[in-house]
Structure 1
């Protein structure tokens, strides 16, 4: 399978090159030259397969023969060795829990798969691979743990000062070894802009072998499709046939993966993009004008993105057809106060403790059902463990949170981070001097 740039479909590269280069020089994003349609028999009998078997079938369809079957299966078994259960709160509403990996966030699917893919290809070369990543919260921890100790790699994580939770910061700043953290005095958008500028700096790329671990990397997007197929398999096993997925959305990689799964043949009725007040995409769907604005800090910090990178991929999948896109994607926006109300409602009604991102997805799923009543199953995605947001969750509800194994040890580790202003030359100098 070849991959093209969303800015130039004549630019075709191998999967390996798309993974390592991550961002084409024309500043587009890589997409498969053809979105494969999965075997109808496979889709009809999804409940027959394990999660790992589903993941292999989907990955093989997208990647092709770039990784031999035996190696791809071993890679998936190693990377995705944790659960992603579907939990019903009522007869027609369920939450897909994606926080059972090592960093307690859905980003583990992409980060662990990508680190294994990069490690696999890196065995064929001796140059150190420098992985750059900007995080608004959960990506950093997932990438840090996904790449920790992976031979031949060095990871530099940029995060906005004072805008990630305590547990999130601990996960990305306490590792050492081949993981470096930079505390940027700015927003996530500033961090993301610094990373993108580095990828487009020819002088820097001649000195370092750079790649990205953000959702702009196609190796992050592919494994996120897996759990949509797995969720549908769990629904189908219980007799459900129609589903609407509601996805908490910041950089729009998560819902982009869901739409890719849909384009591959997964029978999804509709998608709902749930956002906080960073509402660039909801405004676009309403007005037809894409007008990014500076990100605003909220309780759902992983969604504090003013200019979502992956939106170009979604538009590309729909060939820039806004009518077709709006027919498949709806969007709702929520304030911090409404987010708190959503967390309270989940706890009071279902004894379910949710992080702010999950609560926003829940609210949007309920609003969509009010606007579009029907017999479908409403599945909203839970993208992070509530233990990561003690400041955002009501005290009574937080008392009911069971800490995952290892979470209580983070606070005892020393913080290892370099403070930095929003200044590309300072960032570039840091990378070159510390090479």
Structure 2
């Protein structure tokens, strides 16, 4: 997994571009280690053969920018991962269970059920269930959660727009433009921090933060608790969702809404279909775009495959932030005044730092960046191609994004955008 997500993307050697020779060397060690465990195994013979062919592919294609990662993953790394998984099952080697999104039993990173929505839950009583999600969906669309009874969670997270609102920035209850763009809730469960500034560590705290925010819903958890505790339909739903609890409790409201959000991950995009063997789901330009995304354009060094967010592989245990120097608007003349994470953690390196969001469903969640500065994916690609805010000539002393130009051609930029469009779930196509 590390070879796939970090090795061949340039994450481990961003300046030297020596990722392909390094991946080759890592592959050479795998069979040797396994032979120590079990010297006589048909599966390990297969592993050895696949690893040898993968090394040959690296030897024949050592150039970082032209290396075909799509071929390498689908024809070598995925089969290798599947064989290792099979070996583990046949030898009855127990999986090491950890509280993290990637399941220890996953055969590849691209399996339909490779990731666990419980990876970042606070404790066992918060774990997902369908009954909780059903209750949470009703709460999500209930306008009585807001003080004036005119706004629900769905008012700003529209399911038709992949749970965004399509606005540059959100609008307060009084009609005032707020500072931040509304992020998608799809795949939000695979981040260990919520909001652009990462001020809350889980979805439960995120939900109550929004409900109680004076600009957003201005509701009261106590008032909501009182309402649902006396509503017959809600009582029945709570009993199904929390059968061991003798009464409705306030934390269950937060957990139910969060459980609904945890259900918004389908992993059924054209990209997913391709990685599971459907070679007709992505065309040649989109394949070129994926190779650029994971190679020359260096997108995957921050938006990690296959979640395409900032949750760092191979453990997927922590979500990163970045300082990219986002401008105030698409003109690029002024730096955004929003200090991001620095507002809550006043460390110099956090000025202008924002969570790296998922790019899944990105084609239907415009506008982009924390402030909605860019209306199109083409504008976003242009911004990164120039080297972020510093590349625009803005003063960004602590920019974590490399400031050198990517030098993408017009055709490469077009292919990159085409690839990102393959990350759209079926529901939104």
Normalising by structure 1, we get a TM-score of 0.28
Higher relative contact order (CA 8 A, sep 6+): 1
Higher strand share: 1
Over alpha carbons, which structure has the higher Rg? 2
